[in-house]
Amino acid sequence: MFRYCRPAAIWHLFPIGKHFAAWAADDPRIRSGTHEVVLPAGVKAQIEPVVAGLRELLHKAKEAAKGRQDA
């Protein structure tokens, strides 16, 4: 995805990152994957369009990569 369009990927990821405070990066349980961060419903609703945009970008990146392999 970053090879396909790095600026768009960063633009889509930024709103997700702003909802995670520094404590998330400092919590070893979160870093290790043994603990989940549960987002409030309001935050989930705000992030859902961003996630949809990331899915679309990933789909386009996969199609572009497939096109390069077929060529």
Tokens of 52: 């949809």
CA count, 13 A, side-chain hemisphere, 60: 14
Whole-angstrom distance, CA of residue 65 vs CA of residue 35: 34
pTM of the full structure: 0.58
- Residue 20: the pLDDT is 66
Bigger pLDDT: 63 vs 11: 63
- Whether 19 contacts 47, CB under 8 Å: yes
Query: Which domain, by its residues, includes 40?
Result: 2-70
- Residue 29: the pLDDT is 74
Note the pLDDT tens digit of each residue in 4-53.
888 888 887 887 777 666 556 666 776 677 777 677 788 788 888 888 98
The total domain count for the chain is 1
Confidence of residue 2 (pLDDT cuts 50, 70, 90): confident
